[in-house]
Chains A and B, each alone.
Chain A
Amino acid sequence: MAVNKQAVLEALAHVPLPDGAVGASARDLASEIVIANGRVYFALQVPPERAEQMEATRAAAERAVAGLEGVDQARVSLTAERAATAAAAPAAPARTEPGIGQVRHIVAVASGKGGVGKSTTAVNLALAIAGDGHAVGILDADIYGPSVPRLLGLKGKPRQAGQRALLPMEAYGLKVMSMGVLVGEETPMVWRGPMVITALTQMLKEVVWGALDVLVVDMPPGTGDAQLTMAQQVPLAGAVIVSTPQDLALIDARKGIAMFQKVSVPILGLVENMSTFVCPHCGGTTDIFGHGGAEAEAGRLGVPFLGGIPLDMAIRSHSDDGTPIVVSEPDAPHAAAYRAIAAGVWAGLAGAGARGRSAPKIVIE
């Protein structure tokens, strides 16, 4: 027996809303209900700031409808209502076209080795560029170990825009997308390469990035599927390579540089992370991983050296707290170090544009 819309609405009338929500039951929030072959699809329209509270209601509505006779499966999603809340929303024109068509420069932050501080560097670099008045986004391309949500203190899930597209999350003025906000922090992605390629492509093309001056891409370590996808799917404006000064990390950094050169992505420069350690007790400096290795390597490879970031407790604790040092302690010397690197990256981008090394025009007569 087929189910009809009336039966669905009646079921929803028995699903209560959390206190203070507009309307008395989920019925009042339901969008157009679609019924096809025993499957029921609809959305509950909620104010964006209440999305998290409404999750329980969404699940309850899904259960209520799935329990109806003739329903094999119910899919309920939350959508944010837009029109009525014009005052709350920023005045920016709401472009819902997904993709990276309006992004001026896409910059990959990469390393050969894992654990050298790529994500911390990427986040602080993005914030430092944004601090100069540019519109900046950050895409966490590390599918297996996304760190950006934690580094930026992101909570909640991204909102949907239309049928397929997602709106990026926002943090400290950055637009953000990460696998970590699509699945829980504790959920492992047990995926083979092709799945990673699909996920990355979607995060590029089905997210409403809008107009950005720079999209910083936090790359996973290595030179595999994810890196190739980024190199082939989008015209990368350049790559920033992060390494510690130790030889072990520099060997892999060299491979990362060689990979980008193979696919004609300009190297914007090398960053030496964990450059030196300043003891908080005695003030003495200890070069735990050595010092100056990255600068020497950059000289050897003929790529710019962008600067060094010390191994410092404050950077680490701000990272874990989701309050990046560039915004939480803008006057600290470390924040200044990130800003200097950002200036180098921006100069490199301007230079890359001047060299005219963008992909050629394709004309089909």
Chain B
Amino acid sequence: MTAAPWPTELRLNKAKDRLTVAFDDGVTAELPAEYLRVMSPSAEVRGHAPGERKTVPGKARVRIADLKPVGNYAVRIVFDDGHDTGLYAWELLHELWERREDHWQEYLAELAEKGLSRD
């Protein structure tokens, strides 16, 4: 099998606004709920082709309501705004952490460009 990093624990904090993922390569990823929500791998956000990606505004106060395991490979994150169709595979969670700066700057730029806001 691939030697891709594998998570050992997913932890949701008390405030329900941060998911902490411990990987077996030593990385501890602290992923804010808002970041996970706007980067959802769901077809509702990503569309069915790269060009269809939507910019999701106004999620600064979104919280995580539940985490549901999906087989061996992913977690379904249920957000308190009702969004629950994103299956976050381990690889994606790792990538979201590794490239958090790029993704976040891109997101902010998209918001600005479209005249949208985080609130």
Decide yes or no whether A357 CB sits under 8 A from chain B: yes
Q: In the complex the two chains form, is B71's CB within 8 Å of A263's CB? A: yes
Q: In the complex the two chains form, is B73's CB within 8 Å of A231's CB? A: yes
Q: In the complex the two chains form, is A232's CB within 8 Å of B71's CB? A: yes
The listed residue (A264, A356, A360) touching B10 by CB distance below 8 A is A360
Decide yes or no whether A363 CB sits under 8 A from chain B: yes
Which B residues are CB-close (under 8 A) to A4? none
Q: In the complex the two chains form, is A364's CB within 8 Å of B67's CB? A: yes
Which B residues are CB-close (under 8 A) to A365? 11-14
Which A residues are CB-close (under 8 A) to B89? 264
Q: In the complex the two chains form, is A357's CB within 8 Å of B69's CB? A: no
Residue of B nearest to A357 (CB): B6
Number of B interface residues at 8 Å Cβ cutoff, please give it. Answer: 25
Decide yes or no whether B24 CB sits under 8 A from chain A: yes
Decide yes or no whether A267 CB sits under 8 A from chain B: yes
The listed residue (B11, B24, B69, B74) touching A363 by CB distance below 8 A is B11
Decide: A234 near B71, CB < 8 A? Known: A264-B90, A356-B24, A357-B1: yes
Decide yes or no whether B2 CB sits under 8 A from chain A: yes
Q: Secondary structure of the A side of the interface?
A: loop
Q: In the complex the two chains form, is A363's CB within 8 Å of B71's CB? A: no
Decide yes or no whether A53 CB sits under 8 A from chain B: no
Decide yes or no whether A261 CB sits under 8 A from chain B: yes
A255 to B34 alpha-carbon distance, docked (Å): 36
The listed residue (A262, A355, A356, A363) touching B12 by CB distance below 8 A is A363
Q: Mark A311-328, 1 if CB is under 8 A from B, else 0.
A: 000000000000000000
Q: In the complex the two chains form, is A261's CB within 8 Å of B71's CB? A: no
Which A residues are CB-close (under 8 A) to B10? 360-363
Q: In the complex the two chains form, is A263's CB within 8 Å of B72's CB? A: yes
The listed residue (B2, B14, B22, B71) touching A235 by CB distance below 8 A is B71
The listed residue (A358, A363, A364) touching B72 by CB distance below 8 A is A358
Decide: A359 near B11, CB < 8 A? Known: A264-B90, A364-B67: no
Q: In the complex the two chains form, is B9's CB within 8 Å of A360's CB? A: yes
Decide yes or no whether B70 CB sits under 8 A from chain A: yes
Which A residues are CB-close (under 8 A) to B8? 356, 360-361
Decide yes or no whether B86 CB sits under 8 A from chain A: no
The listed residue (A263, A264, A362) touching B67 by CB distance below 8 A is A362
Which B residues are CB-close (under 8 A) to A355? 1
Q: In the complex the two chains form, is A232's CB within 8 Å of B70's CB? A: yes
Which B residues are CB-close (under 8 A) to A356? 6, 8, 24
Q: Mark A321-365, 1 if CB is under 8 A from B, else 0.
A: 000000000000000000000000000000000011111111111
Q: In the complex the two chains form, is A235's CB within 8 Å of B12's CB? A: no
Residue of A nearest to B13 (CB): A365
Which B residues are CB-close (under 8 A) to A361? 8-10
Taking the nearest CB of chain B, how far is it from the CB of A350, in angstroms?
15
Q: Mark B55-78, 1 if CB is under 8 A from A, else 0.
A: 000000000001101111111000
A231 to B87 alpha-carbon distance, docked (Å): 13
Decide yes or no whether A61 CB sits under 8 A from chain B: no
A249 to B102 alpha-carbon distance, docked (Å): 43
A186 to B89 alpha-carbon distance, docked (Å): 41
Q: In the complex the two chains form, is A236's CB within 8 Å of B1's CB? A: no
Further pairs besides A235-B69, A264-B71: 5, Cβ < 8 Å: A234-B71, A263-B71, A266-B1, A356-B8, A360-B7
B interface residues with partner A (beta carbon < 8 Å): 1-2, 6-14, 21-22, 24, 66-67, 69-75, 89-90
Q: Pick 22 A–B contacts, CB within 8 A, sort by A.
A: A231-B71, A232-B70, A232-B71, A263-B71, A264-B71, A264-B89, A266-B1, A355-B1, A356-B24, A357-B1, A359-B69, A360-B10, A361-B9, A362-B9, A362-B11, A362-B67, A364-B12, A364-B66, A365-B11, A365-B12, A365-B13, A365-B14
